[in-house]
Every structure is written in structure tokens, then in C-alpha cells.
Amino acid sequence: MLMPSPICVHLQCPFTSPLLGNPIRFKSNFRINHSKTQRASYAPNLPEKNDIVSNQKENNGLPIKENLDERTTKLGRRSLVDKIKALPSKEKTEIITSPELNGDLGTILEFNDMLWALLTAQEPDLALKLFDEMSSCGLVPDSWTFSIVIRCYCENKNLGEAERVLGYMLENGFRPNFSAVTVLLNSLSKKGKLQRAFGVLDIMDKIGLKPTVQTYNCLLKGLCYVGRVEEAFEMLVRMKKEAIVEPDIFSYTAVMDGYCKVGRSDEAVELLNEALEMGLAPDVFTFNTLFNGFCIEGRPLEGVKILKLMKEKDCKPDYISYSTLLHGLLKWRKTKTALRIYNEMLGIGLNVDKKMVNSLVRGLCTRSCKGRKEDLFEDAYLVFEKLKSDDDSVIDPSTYDLVIQALCMEKKTDEASVNLRKMIQMGFSPRMVTFNGVIQALCVEGKVIEALFVLASLNEGGRVPSRVCYSILIDELNRHGSTLGACYMYGAALKRGLIPSSKPQQ
DNA sequence: CTAGGGTTAG
């Protein structure tokens, strides 16, 4: 039996891409098996337009319902995707090389399904590899094939290649589908390749794919991303005024975010009001964008006002809302408000990031020490105790330091020394001021022996006590009439090369 | 149209 030898169809085009001005060049060879495709004539290098058209007609003309097996139904496709996902990565590669695994890819419909399934299963590389090996299945790519390939390249971040395929399609009478073009436009926008994204928009216009509001929103995002906020705003205005598409809340959020990112949150709020006037319902994304803006700008309290507005508009703040605000409040030292937000988060069962809780504790300690505000310290200690009792407790050494110092300041000496010990147990090295504070506090309460123990723990840790440390102890020993002890301390200091400011009493 | 848009940060 004589089999016709496969013809190699090199998809290399002599023309230039309308997109790039570069020659199109595909690596793949499409070998057409005549026994299967029954196609009569091919140009030596390219599929001809007529063939392409007939190929498509053939597919579209099929009485689809009867001819589709379970794989070509929506559910069947989905299960193919799931199957691919479930495969170990080794076998994933095999699916495109072994016919037993990939089943019969005899028709272009089935082939495209497999391509699509690989793309959907986040395996664009495999899909492209399969596309490369179309020849062995004896198939010619159609519009669907190319559309999927474009999306594969977008997924791969190989946008230049995606544009090249699109250019090839246009030159050869293939009609890219909406999704491929949209994905490409979006990918380009996301990367800030605005000129090329607008190029795709032009193409959509030329081939009669009507951009939707989503399409424009991608461009708005892209413009903002590269800092062209003003242009984004103008585009938003044009969308509305010239009734190109009706802007939705995504459009507004995109431009608002643009303003927020460059420190123009007030203008973002103006846009919010405009959206509200238009009857659009701002959602959690819209508000979160504003929180972020005000926090970046150093106006977190404005953000808290927006939180109130958000609730009035029946929009439920989420973890990001609170985290953004809390972070901003802590950063800009709005400690009391931060505490309020923290408690509100706990109240609705949100888990607060441990770093922020640490920061809150430190903020409260610092403020209570500076302002001698006892109630603030109580708050700090409550937050600290809760932090310690959490299962996934993470305590920063600097938090420990500040809590201990604040405890000393508040004359909670025993607790201070307990926490100091715990801190050392945990392998942290307390700051010298912390040691000094505890020693001082103990001395003030007349607990000299304990103070000496603290000094000892300092030595055990291989640390050199500071001059202040000795001075405090000498003063205290003097006060107790223990000249001997004071002399001993003085000597110990001198031995370390430190000259205490206090001397033993004569 | 087998698809497609967004928000935090240390």
C-alpha cells in the first residue's frame, strides 16, 4: 500500500506583519497528510485562502450536535482539562506525544479541543508544542487553532509572538476570535505596552470586532499603569460623552486607582462621587483603592472617613480594606485610630497580620511612655497578651523591648522582669536600655537581689553591662548601706573598663 | 463568541 508522502508546509511568510513590520516566521512545519484531509492543492509554502475558507466552512457546516462525542461538549472539555491537571508533570508531556494518551486527534475540532484544554490547564508550553507537531496528526490549523495559540503566547508572556500570529492571521484571511484579541490587548496593557495595545484596538475596529467596556477598561488600566492618568481620565470622559461604551464601576475604579497611585486621592474621590451620581454602585475594590490612596498620601484618617461612607453605601469592608487602613494608620502613627480599627477587625473575626499587631503594640507602648497615658498602656498590654496567646504567635524582639520598658515606666516591675526573662528564654537579646530599665525599676522597689540577678543574666548572655547599669546598682547599694556591695560593683565596673557616675559611700 | 476587566503591604 502506497501512502502519499506528507507535504511539508512551512508557514513562513514573505510578507510583513501589519503589526510589527517584521516578516512572519513560524517554526512549525505543518505536514499535510492527504490520505486524511483529502485536500487537493496547496501552495508550496502556505495554505491557500480557499482552503482555509473551505476548512472553516467544513467545520461550521457540521451538524454539530450529532457529531460531537462527549469530549466536545462543554462538560467533556472541562473533564479533559481536569484530567490534564491531575496528571503528574511527566505524563503531561506524554499526552502530546503518545496517541494512546491523547486519544484520537483526527479532526481539527478534536485537535483544537486538546489545544484549548492544555491552555486552560495552564500548560501553554505544551499546547504550543502540540501546535508545533500538528503535522503528525495531519491537520491544518484553522482560526480557532491560531486564536488559541495567540492566547498561549499571551499566557507565556511572549507577546511579540502573539502579535506575530495575529498579523499572520490577518494577512491570510483568518478571523481571530474576540477572546484571543481581547487577551492580547489586555496582556499588552498590563505590561504597559500601550502603543501596541492601541494597535490591537485598531485591528478590532478594522475587522469588526466591537470593543466592549471591558476592552476599554483594560486600556484605562494600562494608561494608569504607565502614569498617563490624565489620558485615562480623558478617555473615561470620552467614553461617556461620545457614547462609545457606557463606563461601568470598573472604569471608574481604574482611573481612581490611577489618581490614587500618584497621590491625587481627592480627585479620585471626585470620580467616586461622579460614579455615585451616575447610579453606579462602588464596590469593595473601589473603596480599597481609595484607602490605599489616602494611606500612601499620609492621610489615613481621610481613609477612615471613607470607611464610614463605605458602610453607609452598604458595601462591606473586607480584609484588604482593614489591612490597608491599619497599615496606613500605623505607618503615620495614628495609634489610637489604629487600635480602634484593630478591635473592629477582631470584632468581625478577621485575622490581623502579626507584623501589624506588633507594630500596634509598639506604637501604644511608645505613646503611653511619652504621654504617660495609663489607659493606652493597658490597651497595649491587652493587645500584647492576646498576641502572645495566639497559636501562630509571632513576637518581634523590639516589641518585647518596648513592652518591658513600658512596664517599668508603669511600675509593673514584676511583670517587667518576668517578661525580660521570657524574652531571653526565647533566644532574644534585649536592648541595654531594657536591662537598665528593669534593674532601675527593681532597685526603686528595693529589690536589689533581683536586680543583681538581672545583671547576672546580662553577664551570662555574654553581654557587657553599661555604665548606667553599675551606677544604678551602686546608688541603690549605697542607699541600703551596703558599702561593701557598692565597692564590689564599682570594682566590677572598673574591671570592665567602665567608670560609673556613682561612687561607693565612704 | 469555547473569554474577557479590578483593590494591600511588610
Q: What is the DSSP string of A206-242?
A: HTT----HHHHHHHHHHHHHTT-HHHHHHHHHHHHHT
| Residue at shortest CA–C1' distance from B8 | A324
Nucleotide nearest to A356 (CA to C1'): B10
Distance A292 CA to B10 C1' (A): 15
pLDDT recorded at residue A103: 56
Percent share of chain A, pLDDT over 70: 81
Model pTM? 0.80
Nucleotide nearest to A247 (CA to C1'): B5
Mean pLDDT score across all residues of chain A: 82
Q: How far is CA A77 from CA A109, A287, A405, A466, in A?
A: 12, 38, 64, 73
Whether A171 has a pLDDT exceeding 80, the answer reads yes
pLDDT recorded at residue A14: 26
Q: Which residues contact A401 (CB under 8 A, 6 or more apart)?
A: A423, A430, A431, A433, A434
Whether A35 has a pLDDT exceeding 70, the answer reads no
Helix, coil or strand: residue A192: coil
pLDDT recorded at residue A136: 73
pLDDT recorded at residue A346: 96
Classify residue A40 by burial, with Cβ atoms within 10 Å: 0-12, 13-18, 19+: exposed
User: How many C-alpha atoms does A15 have within 13 Å on its Cβ side?
Assistant: 13
Distance A184 CA to B5 C1' (A): 13
- The residue among A174, A176, A207 whose CA lies nearest residue A53 is A174
How many residues are given for chain A? 506
- A15 vs A483: which has the higher pLDDT: A483
User: How many C-alpha atoms does A328 have within 13 Å on its Cβ side?
Assistant: 24
Does residue A161 reach within 7 angstroms of strand B, measured from its CB? Answer: no
pLDDT digits over A389-414, tens only?
998 889 999 999 999 999 999 999 99
A295-299, Cβ contacts within 8 angstroms, sequence gap of 24 or more: A295/A324, A295/A325, A295/A327, A295/A328, A295/A329, A295/A331, A295/A332, A296/A260, A296/A261, A296/A263, A296/A265, A296/A328, A297/A263, A297/A265, A298/A332, A299/A265
Residue with grid cell 505544551, as numbered in its chain? A126
β-partners of residue A25 are A12
Distance A62 CA to B10 C1' (A): 57
Does residue A398 reach within 7 angstroms of strand B, measured from its CB? Answer: no
Residue A392: CB atoms within 10 Å = 6
Distance A461 CA to B2 C1' (A): 67
Does residue A119 reach within 7 angstroms of strand B, measured from its CB? Answer: no
pLDDT recorded at residue A489: 86
Q: Which of residues 250-269 of A touch strand B (CB under 7 A)?
A: 250-251, 253-254, 257, 261
pLDDT digits over A278-325, tens only?
999 999 999 999 999 999 999 999 999 999 999 999 999 999 999 999
Does residue A327 reach within 7 angstroms of strand B, measured from its CB? Answer: yes
Whether A450 has a pLDDT exceeding 80, the answer reads yes
Domain layout of chain A by residue ranges: 464-505
Does residue A248 reach within 7 angstroms of strand B, measured from its CB? Answer: yes
Distance A119 CA to B8 C1' (A): 30
Nucleotide nearest to A178 (CA to C1'): B1
User: What distance lies between CA A211 and its chain's CA centroid?
Assistant: 28
Does residue A332 reach within 7 angstroms of strand B, measured from its CB? Answer: no
Range A364-369 average pLDDT? 92
CB A500 within 8 A of CB A490: yes
User: What distance lies between CA A230 and its chain's CA centroid?
Assistant: 25
pLDDT recorded at residue A296: 96
